[in-house]
Amino acid sequence: MSLSFEGRVVLVTGAGGGLGREYALAFAERGASVIVNDLGADTKGGGKSSAAADKVVEEIRAKGGKAVANYDSVEDGEKLIQTALDSFGRIGVILRDRSFARTSDLDWDLIQRVHLRGSFLVTRAAWNHMKNQKFGRIIMTTSAAGIYGNFGQANYSAAKLGLLGLANTLAIEGRKYNVYCNTIAPVAGSRLTETVMPPDVVAALKAEYVAPLVLWLCHEDCQENGGLFEVLRWERTKGHTVRQKNKAMSPEAVRDHWDKICDFTAATRPSGIQESLQSIMTVLSQVESDEVGANPTASAAATGGSAINPVMSTSLFTFNHTQCILYALGVGMSTKDPDHLRFLYENHPDFGCLPTFGVIASQAVLMEGGLSSVPGLGIDFTQGDSVLKLNWFLLFCSGTLRSEATVADVLDKGSGAVLLLDVNTYNGDELLCFNQFSVFVVGAGGFGGKRTSDRVKVGFPPNLRCISKLHKNRTSLLNAALYRLSGDWNPLHIDPSFAAMGGFKQPILHGLCSFGFAARHVLKQFAGNDPSRFKAIKARFAKPVLPGQSLQTEMWKEGNRVHLQCKVKETDVVVLAGAYVDLHGESDAPLENLPQGGGLQSELVFAEIGRRIESLGSELVRKVNAVFGWEITKDGKTAAQWTIDLKSGSGSLHRGAGGGKADVTFTVSDQDFMEVVQGKLNPQKAFFSGKLKIRGNIMLSQKLEVILKDYAKL
């Protein structure tokens, strides 16, 4: 039998969007008369508008339902209840849905006033009406921050847990009058969480999936009273997953499986927000793979589980010269330095991107989803590591890149957890660059996990006695505001109130902005501002920088690696540590994108050879133990020279003749070379026909297969 709310009057606060909107629509669809209350504030708590509430009322009425709008603050509880009495003559159900991000002031009194006192005022105004009619259902909305606490949210957590205490007392006092009160702690995708959740998680946690539980709790047949739904009695049930792939959820399904949902056999006790939310990812994975029932681990809110799998996100990043210039300005470049003009003026003959622009494409996938899979996750953006490795230098300054992010590992650091995130960025199907970020999650440690990972990209410890270069650069008060325009919209870098929550006296500079400063210092001192020399960079963010402070980069070079550390000059505090930049040597320029028209087709093959050497170099040296020289001709003239060294160290590929150290040298035209590697031209036939010329140890030509195999598809 379906659940009906005919004749019931329901007040939903915060009903202009998110969960509140879903509640209002669901109640109206089942016959309830709904008061749609919403101030119409934006996600930051500013402004006031009737548009949000009016739109929901229009939706309900368009479907034949009954609804009126109310625009009063919850602090005017009597007005809200009077709207219900004036419009429908009674009040039967109250749902409080109000989130922290929708308030405009973060001080303690305001949070308590809106969340706790507001709920008190609305409920008090309706209490006697409910008692007199011998029916009432009240739903309070708390959060994981209230249940478990959360770093930097003392005021919010206190108010949210206060709501639970209020609800429990109302449940006791209202029981004999058939007035029941329950509390929910939902996790749902909305306009407030879409900035911190991956898009796929936002889609999977639709607000409409919470509504069936709420409707059942508000129905006259439901005798549940004094419950907390995310957990009950501070424990989590094994529960039952009522959601199935491509099937709508219903309150009837919640009702029919209520005994399983509330069965505390083998219950668990989550110790924190992170552990509480791990289970959600497990159930979402089961739903998407259509495996619900194989391991039913829903909580009392129809979600649950005990493990989290790495979640991959994908995003597209479209850019042009504007983004390249904006990034250069964000990391402190200025027209005062004539060497900077090539990065700031799109018509400059050598115009190009700074090499560290590669982090911007990768951060798009993290900002759209990835660093925080759930709201309330205590990420400390001032700690962690960053690695950028370029396969090809970004020669073009416009296009669309695709980035894929994966969780490579999770480490237990005691006071927190470290998420190791790998991001590969592609131009078409070609890997352009690799980024690795390690992100510190406050309060998520102590779960008994490993402290180190073999997946971490590490460098060599610096030798502080060998400092050979020093570069100082004062940051601008505008740097944080400028840098965020490249896509990192974290309010920590612009909003004084938000920064104060993190314990900072003012907004801080982005860690990756300091990263960009240091990288261009190295580029100037050791690479003549030639971005094509740049190969890779790694840095650990040690301390934050305040806009306006001076950055001092100390550098020393060992081979093609430049070690560095970056300090705040005014305080002598190290802000980037354990850092290095790998440069291509003078004759070791990076492998460039294939030129458009008239270029050498063989460039692509040598690019692949370089990547193979980088990943399998030691193995190739063991198998080959030789140095190969290549002379590629076009139109009868030498067009390119390459040296493949598979004798020294872990192997290397150089552009150029290699100083005459080749054991064997091959001369071949660009076209014939491609036919050889694609298997269209037999190397022996090419040799005897004069298309392939060999100097030196001719027997080593037999080892060409080891180097050139698997390129038939090119």
- For the chain, the C-alpha Rg in angstroms (whole number) is 31
Q: pLDDT at position 460, please?
A: 42
Write b or e for each residue in 191-223: b if 16 or more Cβ atoms lie within 10 A of its Cβ, otherwise e. ebbbbbbbbbbbebbbbebbbbbbbbbbbbebe
Model confidence at 193: pLDDT above 70: no
Q: What residue ranges in 397-516 does DSSP mark as E strands?
A: 399-412, 416-427, 430-442, 469-474
Confidence band of 376 (pLDDT split at 50, 70, 90) = very low
Identify the band that residue 74 occupies on the pLDDT scale cut at 50, 70 and 90: confident
Provide the residue ranges of all domains of the chain, joining segments of one domain with +.
9-229, 234-286, 310-583, 601-710
- 656 pLDDT above the threshold of 50: yes
Please report which confidence band the pLDDT of residue 305 belongs to, taking 50, 70 and 90 as the band edges. Answer: very low
- CB of 28 closer than 8 Å to CB of 9: no
Mean pLDDT, rounded, for 611-630: 82
Instruction: Quote the CA–CA distance of 636 and 281 in Å, as a whole number.
Output: 62
- What is the side-by-side strand order in the sheet with 179-184? 66-70, 33-37, 9-13, 93-95, 136-141, 179-184, 228-229
pLDDT over 70 (residue 442)? no
Question: How high does pLDDT run on average in the chain?
Answer: 75
Which pLDDT belongs to residue 281? Answer: 46
Model confidence at 135: pLDDT above 50: yes
Give 169's pLDDT tier (boundaries 50, 70, 90).
very high
Q: Which of 267-276, 396-405, 680-689 has the lowest mean pLDDT?
A: 267-276
Are 501 and 106 in contact, with CB atoms under 8 Å apart?
Answer: yes
Residue 290, pLDDT > 60, answer no
- pLDDT, position 312: 56
Query: What sign does the CA torsion over 510, 514, 517, 520 have?
Result: negative
Is residue 95 within 8 A of residue 10, CB to CB? The reply is: yes
Q: What is the pLDDT of residue 387?
A: 60
What is the tens place of the pLDDT at every residue in 670-692? 889 888 887 788 877 888 788 98
Please tell me the distance from the alpha carbon of residue 317 to that of residue 362, in angstroms, as a whole number: 8
Report in angstroms the alpha-carbon separations of 625 from 628, 648, 654. Answer: 10, 8, 16
pLDDT computed for residue 69 by the predictor: 94
pLDDT at 622: 85
Model confidence at 246, pLDDT cuts 50, 70, 90, reads low
Task: Give me the mean pLDDT over the 337-353 stretch.
Answer: 87
Output the pLDDT for position 632: 92
Please give the class, per CATH, of domain 310-583: alpha beta
Distance CA(422)–CA(281), nearest Å, equals 19
The one-letter amino acid code at 55 reads K
Residue-level pLDDT at 233: 37
CA distance 422 to 518: 22
In this prediction, residue 216 carries a pLDDT of 87
What was the pLDDT predicted at 136?
92
Q: What's the pLDDT band for 368 if we cut at 50, 70, 90? A: low
The structure tokens listed for 600 are 């050498």
Report the pLDDT value the prediction gives residue 469, as an integer from 0 to 100.
Answer: 63
Which amino acid belongs to residue 513? C
Q: 345-354, 559-568, 653-662: lowest mean pLDDT where?
A: 653-662
pLDDT at 97: 52
pLDDT of residue 597: 32
Which pTM value belongs to this model? Answer: 0.46
Q: pLDDT (tens digit, 9 = 90+) per residue, 526-551?
A: 888 888 788 888 888 888 899 999 99
Confidence of residue 361 (pLDDT cuts 50, 70, 90): confident
Please state which of the ranges 151-155, 245-249, 298-302 shows the lowest mean pLDDT.
298-302
Laid out side by side, the sheet with 416-427 consists of: 313-319, 399-412, 416-427, 430-442, 379-390, 534-541, 573-583, 561-568, 550-558, 469-474
State both tokens at 682. 């037999």
Query: Which residues in 415-490 belong to E strands, given as ranges?
Result: 416-427, 430-442, 469-474
The listed range with the strongest mean pLDDT (109-113, 383-387, 509-513, 704-708) is 509-513
> Tell me: the pLDDT tens digits for 99-126?
434 434 445 676 677 678 888 888 898 9
Q: How confident is the model at residue 292 (pLDDT cuts 50, 70, 90)?
A: very low
What is the structure's pLDDT at 264? 64
pLDDT for the residue numbered 375: 37
Examine the pLDDT at 77 and tell me if it is beyond 60: yes
Among the options 156, 180, 209, 580, which is catalytic?
Answer: 156
pLDDT (0 to 100) of residue 658: 64
Structure tokens at 422: 């790998």
Give the CATH H-level superfamily of domain 9-229: NAD(P)-binding Rossmann-like Domain (3.40.50.720)
Under the banding of pLDDT at 50, 70 and 90, the label for residue 293 is very low
The percentage of residues in the chain with a pLDDT greater than 70, rounded to a whole number, is 70
What class has domain 601-710?
alpha beta
Return d(Cα 440, Cα 386) in angstroms, integer.
12
CA-to-CA distance for 459 and 471, rounded, in angstroms? 22
Backbone angles phi, psi at 538, to 5 degrees: -135, 140
Strands, E, within 507-592: which ranges? 534-541, 550-558, 561-568, 573-583
CA angle 241, 247, 249 (to 5 degrees): 55
Confidence bin at 61 (pLDDT 50/70/90): very high
156 carries an active-site annotation: yes
**d(Cα 411, Cα 101) in Å, to the nearest integer?**
30
- Say what the pLDDT of residue 580 is: 87
pLDDT at 415 over 60: yes
Q: How far apart are CA 160 and CA 141, in angstroms?
A: 8
**Lowest-pLDDT choice from 56-65, 282-291, 324-333, 673-682:** 282-291
Instruction: Give pLDDT, residue 191.
Output: 41
Asked if 507 contacts 562 with a C-beta cutoff of 8 angstroms, the reply is no
Interval 470-528: pLDDT, tens: 777 888 888 889 999 988 888 888 988 878 876 788 999 988 899 999 999 998 888 88
Distance, CA of 239 to CA of 283 (rounded, Å): 11
Looking at residue 174, what is its pLDDT? 93
Q: Is the pLDDT of residue 226 over 80?
A: yes
**Non-local CB neighbours of 197 within 8 Å, separated by 6+ positions:** 189, 205, 369, 372, 373, 374, 375
pLDDT digits (tens, 9 = 90+) for 558-607: 778 888 889 999 999 998 888 888 887 643 433 333 333 345 778 778 87
Q: What is the mean pLDDT of residues 637-645?
A: 88
**Which pLDDT score, from 0 to 100, does residue 504 have?**
83
The yes/no answer on whether domain 234-286 falls in CATH 1.10.287.4290 is yes
Q: Is 324 left (phi over 0), alpha (psi -120 to 50) or beta?
A: alpha
pLDDT of residue 297: 29
Residue 621 clears pLDDT 80, i.e. is over it:
yes
